[in-house]
Amino acid sequence: MIRKLIQSQIWLSLKFDYLLPERFRIDGNSDFRRKVLPGLIGDGMTIWDLGVGSRPFVSPEEKARRNLRVVGLDVSQAELDAAPQGAYDEAICADLTQFNGRGDADLVICQSVLEHVRDTNKALAALSSVLKPEGKAAIFLPSRNAVFARLNVFLPESWKRRLLFAFFPDKAKGHDGFPAFYDRCTPRD
């Protein structure tokens, strides 16, 4: 019954969204993947995909077709092991806040990762250490000011996971439910 109620609210919210001007209907995460990242990737690049483990942005097919070198870095070896075969040329299991790169990345992709680290300044220093001097970083993170983020910060971790997986059972199968801290994750920060 509760799941049906939630699904009806999601449906109703989506219908309401279409009454708003298009600029208010942008899903930041999807927009980042569809519009921002593709324009930053050039043939022959070295790309570091930070913190996405099992879901790298570049598919193994695109990687081969465009002669890309892709390095994946994640705090979870299980996440890295769950990535599609051939997705990474190198997979590094490390805490981003403790990592020191080698300055070889043309592009660093950091999507929905920084809200999961306890010290964003250290994570940004590590991210910077991965980049070549002329390299670019593409960073997306949800704002701590969002209602879901506020709940995420205040609820105990066990409650968050229980609620998330109760309301969205498909999320329990994969990449969701990691602890989030939202350190310095506001537009002002």
CB atoms within 10 A of CB 28: 14
| b/e map 57-87, b = 16+ CB within 10 Å | bbebeebeeeebbbbbbbbeeebbeebeeeb
Q: What percentage of residues in the chain have a pLDDT greater than 70? A: 93
Beta bridge partners of 136: 107
Quote the CA–CA distance of 87 and 70 in Å, as a whole number: 7
pTM: 0.82
pLDDT digit string (tens) for 37-58?
Answer: 999 999 999 999 999 899 999 9
Q: What is the mean pLDDT of the chain?
A: 88
DSSP string, 126-143: HHHHHEEEEEEEEEE---
Tell me: the pLDDT tens digits for 116-138?
A: 999 999 999 999 999 999 999 99
pLDDT at 61 over 60: yes
